[in-house]
Amino acid sequence: MAPGPPSPDPVPPLRRLFPESDRLSVHDLLADLELESRAPVDRPYTLVNFVASADGHAAFRGRSRWLSDDADRDLFHGLREHVDAVMAGTGTLRAERYGRIVRDPERRRRRASSGLTPEPLAVIISRSGDVPSDIPLFSDPGSRVVVFTSAAFDTSNLAAEVNVVRLDRGELTLTTMMRRLRSDHDVRSLLCEGGPTLFGALLQENLVDELFLSLAPKLTGGGTAPAITAGPELAELRTMSLVWALELDGALYLRYALRT
């Protein structure tokens, strides 16, 4: 998902329902994530972030932004502030017209002061090499991008800093990509922003540690929009533990840890 820029007005504190009752700003809520210390030795600690309608769809009229609200956008940009890298599928990149991952100078300053690079690494995987190089992400010289692909990908006319990792088709798996991110790029924390097919593939390879889910008090009324996961059914159900639940104006903001 890729909501628009954060609202210029401060988001009111969210009402925490679990594990204890209080009110917290999004900034305070995310301040103690400590993701880097949780990273396994062979891959990044991986978060997935989605918004969904109350009737289970991840988009309306082809876009996730119609389901989003100010608090969800604040969480969206806040999570980007705390990770080494951000990943999205090519369909999501194209539909949402991704640009530079962290545009706010103050967020970049806070990242640098916490020991992170000012700009997260943008991560893309594509077997076909059909990457939407016309999106703003690639025209911004401040963007840092790594593309994992088994096909040729021309970077000669791109303003962004782009590193292409060519792998044989048989080797181009999410597990291999994760291992290379950890060993070659020192990525300890990774945020996946969709889409549903990429989330489903990550689950198939058992590569997800946490799910952040904003549940919008909105109904799509059907349609063809997918759920937050797509692809083959898992061999077994994956269970999760609720880390927190918050509410604002009827919307729920949930954080789950996937059980091993």
Give the rounded percent of residues in the chain with a pLDDT score beyond 90.
93
Residue 3 confidence (pLDDT) above 60: no
Count of structural domains, the chain = 1
| pLDDT score recorded for residue 1 | 54
Residue 26 domain-assigned (yes or no): no
| pLDDT score recorded for residue 222 | 87
Residue 9 confidence (pLDDT) above 80: no
Q: What is the pLDDT of residues 27-78, one digit of tens each?
A: 999 999 999 999 999 999 999 999 999 999 999 998 999 999 999 999 999 9
Nearest to 221 by CA among 55, 50, 68, 59: 55
- Contact between residue 37 and residue 67 where contact means Cβ atoms under 8 Å apart: no
Q: 2 pLDDT band (50/70/90 cuts)? A: low
Assign residue 116 the CATH number of its domain: 3.40.430.10
Residue 197 domain-assigned (yes or no): yes
Q: What is the pLDDT of residues 227-259, one digit of tens each?
A: 999 999 999 999 999 999 999 999 999 999 999
Residue 18 domain-assigned (yes or no): no
Whole domain around residue 156: which residue ranges? 38-258
Beta sheet of 121-126, edge-to-edge order: 22-24, 14-18, 240-248, 251-258, 210-216, 45-53, 189-192, 85-87, 121-126, 144-149, 161-166
| Mean pLDDT calculated for residue range 163-184 | 97
Residue 5 domain-assigned (yes or no): no
| pLDDT score recorded for residue 173 | 97
Residue 20 domain-assigned (yes or no): no
Residue 16 domain-assigned (yes or no): no
